[in-house]
Amino acid sequence: MNNKLLRFLTKLSRKQLSRMQYIFRQIKNLFWIRNFQSHQYFKFLLSLILGITTAIVVAMYVTADVTPKNVTATTTPAKVTVEATPESMTTEATPESITAEVLAENLTTQIAAATNTYKTSWIGNSFSGGKKWVQINVHDIYVTPDGTVYTNTTWDEAGREVGIYKNGDVIGKADQTHGWGRIGGVAIAVDTKYMYVAMHQYPEGKPGEDYPPKGTEWHCIRRYNLLGEPAPFPGGRGWDKSMLIVSTAKKGEVTGLAIANELLYASDKLANRVRVYNKATMKEIRNFTVPNPGKIAIDKKGNLWILQHKLQHKNDKTPVKLLHYSPTGKQLPVGIADIVEPSTIAIDNQGRLLIADNGPRQQILFYDITNQPKQVGTFGIKGGIYAGNRGEIGDLKLYGISGVGTDAAGNIYISNAAFGYNGSGTDLRAFTPAGKLKWQLLGLQFVDNADADPGTDAVDVYTKEEHFTMDYRQGSGKDWRYKGYTLDKFRYPNDPRLHMTPSAAFVRRLQGKRLLYMSADMMAERLLVYRFDGEIAVPCGIFSKISSDWPTNQSIKGSWLWQDMNGDGSMQANEYQSLGEDDSSVWGWEIDSKGDVWQAAEAGYIKHYRSQGLNSHGCPVYSRTAVEKITMPAPFKTPTRIKYIPEQDVMYLSGYTGDRPNIDGDWGLAGTEIVRYDNWSKNRNVRWRIPLPYEPNRDPKLHMKAIDIAGDRVFAVSSKTAEVFVYDAKTGAPVIQLKPGPEVFGESGWIDIPYGIRAFRRSNGEYLVFVEENSKAKILMYRIPA
């Protein structure tokens, strides 16, 4: 019997093996919840089911002499419409080389996968979530003598506008900085009892409570205790009486705060005033004129050093000065005006003035201010992130410095907010006085997603500005390392990332060269194209579907294309091409493995721009003459996403059909169906139609935001629940559903961007699935075993 059974097992075809594996997979999918899998009764039940299944197969063979060809195939799930069965779906017989040992190994793998369906990891944040995450941006920091770091930022998706950190850990946040029209600000100061936080209050509160009238806004200082709880005071404003209104003018934000001798100083930038308050009563006692005041530092004599902001706008060339005032507002004759781009200031434990130079040198400058200010030292490598190998992360390579301070022991704390549009993330570091890194905290990702480099089998992963290297042997959240920052504002000041909000990366290889493409903003208005020079992504192309005010040297009406013809990474007037009509209905962008660019337009057509290879500078070349416009294929009414696989001549489209229309009119979604077309370049056979989950009347709504295809799998992610639905690319059958696991406390924010999911199959068969996660400043990464 054993020999007979062995011969039977070794003669099983791949198709029959897949049918047995399908049974195991369905069992596995029934019990995908990881917590349930950990229980012994689940393991017992699974073993029992598998044992019974195996016994039935063996018994059928032994007693009835069933041959492999009589094994009944499983049926395609009813919800998937299979339009045709192309010849490519036939299954070859199992090669002679497949032995019983190989079969046993395969079955063991399937059983193991049933109890370990997938793992959840993440990229870009030092913490996984729950009560701990690093906020997405830092505009200012205040360091107390014991080394506690208090931070403030205008916006954090999950409400950590004010963060509290110590010894490389998250220890708290200020409450109620988010929602009801409240957001944070760009300044913070702390004494032994309270935090004083610059913030904004808009008229979105409950009726009958103390909120700004409609059409107005408050720019406030809000008082908190050191635990992060609002601390009301007599005469305080707002619903809990903890706010001090500094300005009611639009753009009148509080740009600097400092404390000395029971006085609180605040920069009222729009009014060109520094206001002085009694800390005990929070009453204004005086104010004095300072042109465009910003950050404030108070030296040991009680005098004020005030950073003067640009006088007009961010492109203003007026030199920035560091002004010097007495406590009563008398301007003192000594100031500092020889720093290229001062961004923040502080007084250290020795009484020296620390100035962050956010210009090309990217350093902290130390000044002896006992008499005439004299520079006496620097901190950080000159050139910062652009020293040595430009863009490569290093302990002492600073970039986008937004805050600095020291504790009583002289340890130095620096926040880097990078350079992307409106800042691009938090890189908070603590150093010993000698410059040794003590700890580093990262919160890098917002409105962003990752993609794997196919040339390195996903060892390298890129987001819109960051480069990570991966070690998949490590545990969840430990498998990534921050390797490089790919934006160079000094060499390439016209990088679109400095002028708009890109939202997702596509990594491709063309002629062996790594290229980076990006969808711009949540509306997918542009596709950005980059080549690489070391770690730096150099701008070299833009597809714009609409007219735009930027770049300023193009005046094309309708859609246009810019290509870098001279390799300088900047836009010249002769480098633009008109692409014709306004393509404002384009939501679907795709770059296939040959470098071709595809567009799917809700207006009912597809455009295909054929790659013309690389120019002498390594930039992909496209042309308005090498484009094909394709009529929307049945069954679509509105195509919204597109994915083409040249090696298979297979096209995947998603969108809305006559059978499943857009019921509630929501925009920017992936639609209600995915359709696979075989032989796309010839006769476009519909292979299957997947009806995507779509429940617009549910709360929260269930609808798909983004799709991707990798290997033999199709992936779709829901907008408001962040669920990932996985299908078999050959049959359209559902395979598994992914949700954030316990590794990230089972949580995720909404998927806001059209390309909020990316998938990649590694050479070992493992699938990586990257999903946007704005809430806690990271990117989710699911790992599905082969």
* DSSP state letters, 299-368: -TTS-EEEEEPPSS-TT--PPP-EEEE-TTSPBPS--B---S-EEEEEE-TTSPEEEEE-STT-EEEEEE
Tokens of residue 686, six digits: 């519909």
Task: Give the whole-angstrom CA distance, residue 8 versus residue 20.
Answer: 14
| pLDDT for the residue numbered 316 | 59
Side-chain half-sphere exposure of 641, counting CA atoms within 13 A = 30
How many angstroms separate the CA atoms of 543 and 561, rounded?
5
Q: How far is CA 454 from CA 457, 711, 743, 765, 766, in A?
A: 5, 12, 27, 14, 14
Which residues are CB-contacts of 44 (< 8 A; sequence separation ≥ 6)? Answer: none
* Coil, strand or helix at 19: helix
Give pLDDT tens digits for 419-437: 988 767 999 999 999 999 9
> Strand 502-510 relative to strand 778-784: parallel, antiparallel, unpaired?
unpaired
Q: What value does the CA radius of gyration of the chain take, rounded to a whole number of Å? A: 30
87 vs 45: CA distance, rounded Å: 39
Place of tokens 């005010």: 549
Cα gap 344→187, rounded to integer Å: 10
Q: Return the HEC string of 552-616.
A: CCCCCCCEEEEECCCCCCCCCHHHEEEEECCCCCEEEEEECCCCCEEEEECCCEEEEECCCCECC
| CA distances to 191, 392, 633, 775 from 160, in Å | 20, 28, 47, 10
Residue 734: count other Cβ atoms within 10 Å of its Cβ.
Answer: 17
Two tokens, residue 622: 């496209």
- Local structure of 650: helix, strand or coil: strand
Exposure string of 532-570, with b = 16+ CB inside 10 Å and e = fewer, is: bbebbbbbbbbbbbeebeebeebebeebbbbbbeeebbb
Contact 675, 689 (CB under 8 A): yes
218 with 248: CB under 8 angstroms?
yes
Tens digit of each residue's pLDDT (9 = 90 or more) over 55-69: 443 333 333 333 332
List CB contacts of 380: < 8 A, sequence separation 6 or more: 362, 363, 364, 396, 397, 398, 414
| CA–CA dist 192, 37 (Å, integer) | 50
Closest CA to 476 of 123, 208, 238: 123
* Alpha carbon distance 594, 612 (integer Å): 10
pLDDT confidence of residue 9: 38
Q: Around Cβ 298, how many Cβ atoms within 10 Å?
A: 21
Cβ atoms of 392 and 129 closer than 8 Å: no
Successive 10-residue mean pLDDT values, the chain, 786 residues:
39 40 41 37 41 40 32 37 45 34 42 64 98 97 98 96 98 95 97 98 89 94 98 97 96 96 96 97 98 97 92 58 95 91 97 97 97 96 98 98 98 95 87 98 97 98 98 97 98 96 95 97 94 98 94 93 98 96 94 98 96 97 96 96 98 97 95 98 97 96 98 98 97 98 97 97 98 97 97
N- to C-terminal Cα distance for the chain?
Answer: 33
458, containing H or E segment: none
Give the separation between CA 465 and CA 498, rounded to whole angstroms.
Answer: 11
Tell me the torsion sign for CA atoms 354, 356, 357, 361.
positive
For 112, which DSSP code? H
DSSP 201-233: E-S-S-TTSS-PPTT--EEEEEEEETTS-B---
The Cα–Cα gap between 72 and 25 comes to: 17
| Helices (H) then strands (E): counts for the chain | 5, 51
- Across the beta sheet with 401-406, what order do the strands follow? 401-406, 412-416, 426-431, 437-443
CA distances to 18, 530, 635, 665, 739 from 43, rounded to whole Å, are 23, 50, 44, 46, 21
pLDDT tens string 379-411:
999 999 999 999 999 999 999 999 999 999 999
pLDDT single digits (tens) 699-724: 999 999 999 999 999 999 999 999 99
Kind and range of the H or E run holding 522: none
Residue 720 CB neighbours (<10 A): 16
